[in-house]
Amino acid sequence: MKTPTLLTCSRCGCQRHANELNGVNLTKTGWDDDSRAYCKRLADCKSAEAEEALDWLIDALESDEEDAA
């Protein structure tokens, strides 16, 4: 049985399994290129970019709730 290889998110640097990342380039040689990989779940990514996106999303949802009231 092959040991799962951990790859690195190019945004936050966390090591994750390939199925937890988007943008992994699976090469014919079996080497996984993670140079452009990023966490699939925005909430799991520890990057500043992910934090900004989540803050924007939360603000937008709160704004919609206020508009509906």
44 in helix, strand or coil? helix
Where residue 66 falls among pLDDT bands split at 50, 70, 90? confident
Alpha helices per DSSP H over the chain = 48-68
Q: In the prediction, which pLDDT does 53 show? A: 95
The single residue listed with the structure tokens 């690195």 is 8
CA dihedral 48, 51, 55, 60 (to 10 degrees): 100
Residue 24 in this model has a pLDDT that exceeds 70: yes
Name the percent of the chain lying above pLDDT 70.
88
C-alpha distances (whole Å) from 53 to each of 4, 50, 59, 65 are 30, 5, 10, 19
Q: What is the model's pLDDT at position 64?
A: 79
